[in-house]
């Protein structure tokens, strides 16, 4: 029989795994450094100072100093240096009653890898007269094959009696610079960790020493929560929710129990841990701030830094929730769908706070938020249901206010009519008949005007519904659906060429290219729709005519090419501009393009051309848009501007009305020709400009 032998072995790790774990799981400097700040929090520190020295260039230095409990030699060896396993229990509170973060050391590794050298000194609370020092030279790991081959030495020496406990970590010879944007993100994260919403009961105050920090520090010190117009307070406990809304004076406006707030079956409970939600809404209107000691500009600046809803877990803020651009509760989408009585991330600030001793919420390995478990999904639903409940209550008040105003208007109109009748009755009989006839004629014309206004309102409501639907489609389709189409059509193209070889061009090339073109067109429609909804563009300011035209043409380029439309811009020399909003002027250009495209399709026009021409004379910009379509037919040129007037099936008749109203708003005028030099319609717009 053959002789059987066995050997005991184990997994061993290459030194490169340290780089991959540290740098790839936590790629930005601010995230890595925040993990070291959280380590100080877990160590019961009341103060943590982060110093950035010469970090605007490579080779700089970062120092993190805290007054926490420190570590013994065994704790360094069996805790701090052990990656992938946390020695902290999230079910056991720290000495100061804090719930430890328990991040398994991966975030800490990312920060330590930022420099070539690391020097860590620590004094344990239990043996404060002894200091332990550990130095890490990462070049030694790059020269070795396995992590086990590099030994690390812990040096121990005595310290003075009054040295105190705590830890200092110095990261030297930074591999890359920490720019101003990184510093601002780190400063913002540290400020939010210190809880700008109130005085943190744990007493933890991190501090950043950096020139870029001064402006943010002032913002935190001011805190404008008391200036909010509405304050939503919601709680979920044992799966049941309660909520209240107060005004700026603290008066309770609305109260809601679980059956009122929960959007699903009121018997359904939330499966998230107990949580609280505080949300402050600001009405940034001049009239709202007339009697206050703070300006709109100050509040806007503050909301620009801290606006949005932030998530705190066991006393610590969790990124990226509430970061700029991370609207995890869809505040802006819901406002776009129904703007009345709904806040955006620019007009509100909020805090969802969770105390989760059972660790129902599981943070992702790269520390970028929570895994979307049932508990997290229900936590998000709790916050969104609370916001929706507040919006419904505010809408009810708005509806009652409008109904009351309508009733008052009717009463005033009725009273005025009675007074008029009484005055006419008191006049001599010789003129009474003429006055009664004139009043009757006026009533008849007014009824006609009211009837037309009702039709216009209905038309605008219909268009608003279409716009809301388009915005929703754009938001939903701009991500995964269009991306999936593009990825899969490329897969079909690649596999088709491999399988069919020369037959591919005959069988699949044309339909694949058609699908690619259609996906590009959908992408244009989605991005253009969301772009038009950008609230920043609705602000008044300097509108550069040629820049806006160029941007619109670039956005619509795939869509225009897909319909064989050649746009020829003939723009005058210079850069004419006027005072208005980019969004308004974009709507003018977009509606004129859409108008030409619609009539190209209606008439089946070939070799489609659109010319956009600008000229300036005597501080007046003339914009001409002409095409080679069928021209203005079946309607008088002067009537194309009227709302609801359309000569094509399915048309709203509002595109050119919007163009007219927008141009008139900036002091301009509009005109139209049935036939241009290209053969189709020509729209002429004149706008007074400020300069060129």
* SS3 per-residue string spanning 265-293: CCCCCCCCCCEEEEEEECCCCHHHHCCCC
Most confident region among 322-326, 479-483, 614-618 by mean pLDDT: 614-618
Using alpha carbons, select from 256, 255, 276, 275 the residue that is nearest to residue 266: 256
Q: Determine the angle formed by the axes of helices 296-306 and 214-222, rounding to 10 degrees.
A: 110
560 occurs within a structural domain: yes
Burial 513-552 (b: 16+ CB within 10 A, else e): eebbeebbbbbbbbebbbbbbeeebeeeeebbbbebbeeb
Greatest mean pLDDT range, 134-148, 427-441, 501-515: 134-148
Could you read off the pLDDT of 502-543 as tens digits, one per residue? Answer: 888 888 888 888 787 777 666 655 555 555 555 455 567 788
Query: What pLDDT is attached to residue 472?
Result: 45
Shared domain check, 233 and 179: no
Q: Angle at Cα 327 formed by Cα 326 and Cα 330, nearest 5°?
A: 155
Q: What is the mean pLDDT of residues 646-653?
A: 55
Residue predicted with more confidence, 278 or 266: 278
Last residue in a domain, options 380, 396, 412: 396
Per DSSP bridges, beta strands 61-66 and 230-237 are unpaired
Note whether residue 547 is domain-resident: yes
pTM greater than 0.85: no
Domain of 198, CATH number, reads: 3.30.565.10
| 576, 540: one domain | yes
> Do both 250 and 156 map to the same domain?
no
Among 191, 193, 199, smallest CA distance to 217 is for 191
What is the DSSP annotation of 383-431? Answer: HHHHHHHHHHHHHHHHHHHHHHHHHHHHHHHHHHHHHHHHHHHTS-HHH
Does 620 lie in the same domain as 601? Answer: yes
205 and 233 assigned to the same domain: no
Q: Tell me whether residue 558 is in a domain.
A: yes
The string of pLDDT tens digits covering residues 276-333 is 999 999 988 877 777 777 888 888 888 887 788 999 887 778 888 888 778 899 888 7
Q: For residue 513, is it within any domain?
A: no
Burial class (CB in 10 A: 0-12, 13-18, 19+), 311: buried
**Residue 110, in any domain of the structure:** yes
Instruction: Based on the fold, state whether residues 99 and 145 are members of the same structural domain.
Output: yes
List all residues 6 or more positions away from 291 whose beta carbon is below 8 Å from its beta carbon. Answer: none
Number of domains in the chain: 3
Which residues of 329-390 form beta strands (DSSP E)? 348-354
The verdict on 162 and 25 lying in the same domain is: yes
Do 214 and 277 lie in one domain? The reply is: no
Alpha carbon separation from 101 to 44, 90, 145, 318 (Å, rounded): 12, 7, 32, 10
Residue 674 vs residues 257, 636, 681: alpha-carbon distances, Å: 63, 8, 5
Of the listed ranges 113-127, 259-273, 542-556, the least confidently predicted one is 259-273
pLDDT at 659 over 60: yes
Residue 682 in any domain: the answer is: yes
Q: Could you tell me what percent of the chain has a pLDDT over 90?
A: 21
Kindly state whether residues 557 and 682 are assigned to the same domain: yes
Kind and range of the H or E element at 565? strand 565-570
In a domain, 142, yes or no: yes
Structural domain that includes position 288: 224-396
Residues 160 and 235 grouped into a single domain? no
CA end-to-end span of the chain, whole Å? 98
Boundary residue ending a domain (160, 187, 218): 218
**What kind and span of H or E run contains 633?**
none
**Alpha-carbon distances, residue 580 vs 308, 543, 545 (angstroms):** 28, 6, 11
My answer on whether 659 and 590 are in the same domain is yes
CA–CA separation, 188 and 200 (whole Å) = 16
Mean pLDDT of all residues in 590-603 = 83
pLDDT of residue 276: 94
Residue 468 has what pLDDT? 45
Note whether residue 112 is domain-resident.
yes
State the pLDDT confidence band at 253, using cuts at 50, 70 and 90: very high
Helix pair angle (429-477, 374-425), 10° resolution: 170
Nearest residue to 313 (alpha-carbon basis) of 271, 269, 272: 272
- Domain finish residue from 203, 218, 233: 218
Strand partners, 137: 117
The answer to whether residues 210 and 334 belong to one domain is no
């Amino acid at each position: 029989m053959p002789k059987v032998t066995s050997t005991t072995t184990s997994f061993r790790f290459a030194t490169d795994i340290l780089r991959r774990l540290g740098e790839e799981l936590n790629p930005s400097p601010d995230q890595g450094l925040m993990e070291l700040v959280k380590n100080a929090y877990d160590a019961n520190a009341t103060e943590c100072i982060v110093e950035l020295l010469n970090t605007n260039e490579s080779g700089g230095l970062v120092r993190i100093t805290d007054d926490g409990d420190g570590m013994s030699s065994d704790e360094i060896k069996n805790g701090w240096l052990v990656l992938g396993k946390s020695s902290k229990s999230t079910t056991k509170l720290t000495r100061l009653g804090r719930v430890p973060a328990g991040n398994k050391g991966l975030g800490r590794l990312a920060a330590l890898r930022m420099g070539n050298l690391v020097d860590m000194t620590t004094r344990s609370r239990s043996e404060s007269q002894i200091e332990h020092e550990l130095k890490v030279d990462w070049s030694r790991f790059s020269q070795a094959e396995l992590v086990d081959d590099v030994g690390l030495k812990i040096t121990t020496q005595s310290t003075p009696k009054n040295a105190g406990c705590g830890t200092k970590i110095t990261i030297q010879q930074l591999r890359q610079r920490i720019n101003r944007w990184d510093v601002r993100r780190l400063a913002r994260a540290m400020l939010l960790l210190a809880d700008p919403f109130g005085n943190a009961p744990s007493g933890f105050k991190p501090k950043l020493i950096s020139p870029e920090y001064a402006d943010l520090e002032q913002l935190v010190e001011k805190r404008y929560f008391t200036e909010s117009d509405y304050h939503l307070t919601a709680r979920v406990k044992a799966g049941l929710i309660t909520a209240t809304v107060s005004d700026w004076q603290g008066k309770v406006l609305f109260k809601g129990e679980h059956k009122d707030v929960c959007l699903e079956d009121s018997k359904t409970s939330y499966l998230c841990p107990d949580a609280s939600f505080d949300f402050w809404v600001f009405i940034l209107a001049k009239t709202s701030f007339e009697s206050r000691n703070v300006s709109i500009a100050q509040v806007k600046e503050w909301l620009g830094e801290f606006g949005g809803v932030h998530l705190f877990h066991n006393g610590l803020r969790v990124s990226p929730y509430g970061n700029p651009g991370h609207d995890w509760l869809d505040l802006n989408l819901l406002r776009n769908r129904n703007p009345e009585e709904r806040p955006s991330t620019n007009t509100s600030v909020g805090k969802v706070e969770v105390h989760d001793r059972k660790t129902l919420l599981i943070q992702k390995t790269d520390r970028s938020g929570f895994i979307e478990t049932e508990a997290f999904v229900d936590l998000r639903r709790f916050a969104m249901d609370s916001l929706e409940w507040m919006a419904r209550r505010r809408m009810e008040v708005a509806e009652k206010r409008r109904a009351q105003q309508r009733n008052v208007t009717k009463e005033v109109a009725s009273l005025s009519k009675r007074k008029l009748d009484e005055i006419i009755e008191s006049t001599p009989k010789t003129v009474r008949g003429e006055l009664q006839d004139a009043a009757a004629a006026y009533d008849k014309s007014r009824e006609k005007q009211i009837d037309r206004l009702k039709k216009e309102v209905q038309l605008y409501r219909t268009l608003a519904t279409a716009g809301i639907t388009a915005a929703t489609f754009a938001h939903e389709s701009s991500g995964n659906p269009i991306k999936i189409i593009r990825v899969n059509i490329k897969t079909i193209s690649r596999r088709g060429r491999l399988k069919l070889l020369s037959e591919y061009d005959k069988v699949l090339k044309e339909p694949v290219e058609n699908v690619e073109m259609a996906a590009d067109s959908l992408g244009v429609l989605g991005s253009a729709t969301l772009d038009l909804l950008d609230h920043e563009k609705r602000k008044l300011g300097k509108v550069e005519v040629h820049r806006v035209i160029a941007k619109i043409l670039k956005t619509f380029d795939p869509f225009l090419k897909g319909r064989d439309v050649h746009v020829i811009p003939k723009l005058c020399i210079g850069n004419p501009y006027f005072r208005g909003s980019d969004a308004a002027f974009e709507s003018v250009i977009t509606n004129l393009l859409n108008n030409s495209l619609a009539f190209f399709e209606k008439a089946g026009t070939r070799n489609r051309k659109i010319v956009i021409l600008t000229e300036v004379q005597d501080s007046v910009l003339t914009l001409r848009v002409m095409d080679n379509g069928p021209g203005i037919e079946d309607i008088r040129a002067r009537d194309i501007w009227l709302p609801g007037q359309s000569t094509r099936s399915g048309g709203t008749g509002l595109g050119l009305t919007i163009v007219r109203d927008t141009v008139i708003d900036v002091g301009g005028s509009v005109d139209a020709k049935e036939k241009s030099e290209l053969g189709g319609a020509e729209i002429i717009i004149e706008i007074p400009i400020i300069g060129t």
